[in-house]
Structure 1
Amino acid sequence: MAQDRTLRADAARNRAKILDSARELITLHGADVPTDAIAEAAGVAAGTLYRHFPSKSALISAALEGGLERLAVITEAAWVRVEEGRTSAMEEFRALAAAYVSAAAEDHALRLAANRLTEDHGFSADQLQRAAAAGRRLVDRAQRDGDMHPDVTVDDIYLLLHSAPVDAAPSTRARWLALMLAGFDVDRREWPDVSGRSGL
């Protein structure tokens, strides 16, 4: 019995080391980092890694689970405040974008989650679907309220988050975000002429 407990404890430590190494290497090199490199960084054999995570998609999904859950929770909480009438959808959208950029500056795995890199590896993340659903509700409500430009889509939100300068200084991130969010505001944006008649 004592030997079984020791084996379980060793397995739990190995799993934790693998996940810690995966998060660190994903942050440094992206989701294409080789599994052998993750095993080596964790100090375990490749076979040990595959006993815990039978595929690379399973490993990366587990490594990003915390970031995905964080993204889902803050997006759903924003929508709840709008539903309860405590604030407007546009105000929550601005606050959510600021919170995301700040959090992603500290946790690059969160940025990977929000960029939907997990989908590139065939993942099906419930947290990602929850965040997207809440984000769509915010956009729809802000547009119905007449505060957000009607042409804005959820894909534009993904593009905003994807391009966030998370490695820049806080003052630079704040200035960038203010400029970007102005493009979503129905009262503060004029669409450029992209019809090809500019003469260039």
Structure 2
Amino acid sequence: MTQARAPRADAVRNRRKILAAAGEQITAHGPGAGMDEIAAAAGVAVGTLYRHFPTKTDLVAAVVAEYVARVADDAEATLARVAAGARAMDELTAFLGRVIEASVTDRAVKAAAQALGAQPGDRADEDRAGAAVAALIRAGQTEGDIHPDVTVGDIYLLFSTAPTDQPPAARARWLTLVAPGLTSQARRAES
């Protein structure tokens, strides 16, 4: 039985450059961003781009998958800070802010993915993010800061309704206004 060979360093580097350029080009030009322009922005030959991503749908799916992996990594790092003693509500609020800011630039990529019907194939990163967010919520509920009825679905609802088309000050204000709705304190005030 032969072992799979690790990708060459230049292939890994080229893939990273292509994904970064694709994200930038799609953000700037929407789903119509051309593969030639993406290759040029990445500093690679078009053939190199097509070896990594045979179709634009494959490329856009990989860009979306990379975004989901970054969110999952951030969620797990946030959970690790809570495990080390940070307050869950503070960390969850900061996490929300980071994801919303990342979504500002990734909004066009997500639109392109929808337009092209691109679906990232591996749900492992989505599952990792969901598990970490669920654990953050439970930690905040245990601390008494997060209301007992808050769910991962509520956090995803916040992500989907964030004003990513607004300037940074408006996004920060939105987070300031909605975050207290997750707390036990705000709910006691309603009663």
Query: How many Å separate the matches in 2 of 1:83 and 1:14?
Result: 36
Per the normalisation by structure 1, the TM-score is 0.66
Identity %: 40
- The answer to which of 68-77 and 174-183 deviates more is 68-77
Query: How many Å separate the matches in 2 of 1:111 and 1:50?
Result: 22
Which ranges of structure 2 fall in alignment gaps of 5 or more residues? 1-7
Equivalent residue for 2:142? 144
Equivalent residue for 1:197? none
C-alpha distance after superposition, 1:20-41 (max 9, x if no partner):
44213432566xx26xx43142
Q: Are residue 38 (structure 1) and residue 29 (structure 2) matched?
A: no
Q: 1:141 to 1:182 in 2, by over 3 A?
A: same
Q: How does 1:174-185 map to 2 (within 5 A)?
A: 174-185=172-183
The two structures, once aligned, show a CA RMSD in angstroms of 3.9
Query: How many Å separate the matches in 1 of 2:118 and 2:16?
Result: 24
Q: 1:47 to 1:149 in 2, by over 3 A?
A: same
Q: 1:14 to 1:184 in 2, by over 3 A?
A: closer
Query: How many Å separate the matches in 1 of 2:13 and 2:72?
Result: 28
Highest RCO, 1 vs 2 (Cα 8 Å, sep ≥ 6) = 2
Equivalent residue for 2:106? 109
Aligned length: 175
Q: Is the contact between residue 147 and residue 185 of structure 1 (CA under 8 Å) also seen in structure 2? A: yes
Q: Is the contact between residue 71 and residue 110 of structure 1 (CA under 8 Å) also seen in structure 2? A: no
Query: How many Å separate the matches in 1 of 2:175 and 2:130?
Result: 20
Per the normalisation by structure 2, the TM-score is 0.68
Q: What amino acid maps onto 1:174 in structure 2?
A: A
Q: 1:149 to 1:18 in 2, by over 3 A?
A: same
Q: Cα distance, 1:46 vs. partner?
A: 7.9
Query: How many Å separate the matches in 1 of 2:119 and 2:65?
Result: 14
Instruction: Select the structure that is richer in helix.
Output: 2
